[in-house]
Structure 1
């Protein structure tokens, strides 16, 4: 697991603990489990403190775990509301989810030359005639000079149709992975801790900072780079970047993996609170233009349900 992936995982866990403790502040076994989670990793207490700060910034009451931290650790002081609705914790959770969703986009705006919002796709024609199609919530930075054509994928995924130029290779960089082509069509996906490359036609060379991962990845071949390891498999070239047709194609994939994919098309946060449900496997074609409907279709065959708390929080679990 990469540092970025680990940070995201801690953030999700901290938010989940925040919700659980606000719903059951006097549950002693739950509190003991929470304290054990804090002790399991040195980064967990800080992740939870950040979740608490977001809670306070939303204007809500002190978190149910406020007594765990010394007073000097608090950075925001807001008055306590004496009268709150029965489910006051829900508004705070939604506000926290909104902040967690919005903050990363600020950095992308500073780095990106082109980007898309949630639910938006966009076609970009570069200076040499190459075309880049951006998926939902995607950002790229472009660097064209006399001797090179470089595109950096900052987030999301993009489909590239590259104009041939043997004297000026086309590079796509996604974190530590570099894809090199002279003329071909392929998709590159960047997710926390993972990079994927799918080739529709032509061939590409894929390498990281230390070695060549695939000298010639050809049409119908897919490379997944995870935790420093590369795996190559085959697929139907017609399914390359199925997102361009508004589709998510699953072939015996874990529910948790599909939930992570669909989360990139939904605002706010999506929390999967059942590990057993997340481990179930599904096969099907899902409509990315209706991501919440797709999410329900993924979990329903295994008895899962999706609870919506406003537009900023979806919680998946079994009844």
Structure 2
């Protein structure tokens, strides 16, 4: 995004201000007055918000950097106090001079990527090509980032669902981070579905290693074709199961959601992935009611209103405004 009405100096000043606000808003001592000042700055020009979002993406990547060891404290000679903006300007100048060397060192150590991409799919399925040549199809409401490191290619699935056709490179593994776990491959085709803290991995071709916790030692459990791994936050190891030719996990590639006689408790995470306000169940009995059918993923918001017409349920709203399904009590048999 560019604005031809701004000079290069003005554009650079906006970039510097965006970096300043990114640091301040992540600082523990950031005050309410500063946050208000930031909101006023961000709304003053469309480019302010754009540059700040770009800084946040860089901040996310930098979050993977190892923390440096505590430095030895050297007594400092007192100097005259400086304004925060002058202090930031000096820091920015030092960073500008150090950046090429830091980036080179960070790449060689495997800390910093030499390329970075960000993709989102909102109302349509989106096909994208990563810088390594891998192909990805993003489902509705999905978001991911790609970073190319010296020792790995890393995708972070921030939300939603994606189907990967990974370019083969044995010496440069492809890692997908989803929730607290990861999927590690060299070249294969697989699907990753994520909703809140739930993740499902379906392997179509090749092999992958799935771990439910990135902090655990080892690379995880190996999947072969037609296998599925699922995990939730806090799981020590993923749950492994076999899939079959009629498995419907990839129906979204054709714009469909297939519910094959599922209990509502199992169906709702699949449905809620597409809803603005998640659908809830009132109790265990309601959650046990079964649902089936084939639905257009672009029309699932209209499904909520039709459920009472096809299931023994009625709709209410909870205090957060979310729709809640309640089972209709069965009439006792007449004596």
Compute the TM-score of the two structures, normalised by the length of structure 2.
Answer: 0.55
Q: Secondary structure at the match of 1:183?
A: coil
1:62 alignment counterpart: none
Compute the TM-score of the two structures, normalised by the length of structure 1.
Answer: 0.57
2:275 alignment counterpart: 266
Offset of residue 210 of structure 1: 1.5
User: In structure 2, how many angstroms separate the alpha carbons of the residues matched to 1:236 and 1:293?
Assistant: 30
User: In structure 2, how many angstroms separate the alpha carbons of the residues matched to 1:120 and 1:314?
Assistant: 25
1:198 alignment counterpart: 202
1:304/1:292 CA distance change after superposition, 3 Å: farther
Is it true that 1:148 corresponds to 2:152 in the alignment?
A: yes
1:289 alignment counterpart: 298
Task: Give the superposed CA RMSD.
Answer: 3.0
Q: Secondary structure at the match of 2:238?
A: strand
Give the one of 245, 250, 255 matched to 1:241: 250
Pick 1 or 2: higher relative contact order, CA cutoff 8 A, min separation 6. Answer: 1
1:215/1:315 CA distance change after superposition, 3 Å: closer
Alignment deviations for residues 121-162 of structure 1 (CA, whole Å, 9 cap, x no partner): 211100121011111211112111333210011111111110
Give the one of 220, 233, 238 matched to 1:230: 238
1:269/1:176 CA distance change after superposition, 3 Å: closer
Is it true that 1:172 corresponds to 2:172 in the alignment?
A: no
Are the aligned partners of 1:254 and 1:281 in contact in 2 as well (CA < 8 Å)? yes
Could you tell me which runs of 5 or more consecutive residues in structure 1 were left unpaired when the two chains were aligned.
1-105
Could you tell me which runs of 5 or more consecutive residues in structure 2 were left unpaired when the two chains were aligned.
1-52, 61-116, 329-335
1:58 alignment counterpart: none
Give the one of 172, 178, 182 matched to 2:186: 182
Task: State which structure, 1 or 2, has the greater radius of gyration over its C-alpha atoms.
Answer: 2
User: In structure 2, how many angstroms separate the alpha carbons of the residues matched to 1:213 and 1:234?
Assistant: 20
Alignment deviations for residues 228-251 of structure 1 (CA, whole Å, 9 cap, x no partner): 042111223564422111222334
Q: Which has the higher helix share?
A: 1
1:78 alignment counterpart: none
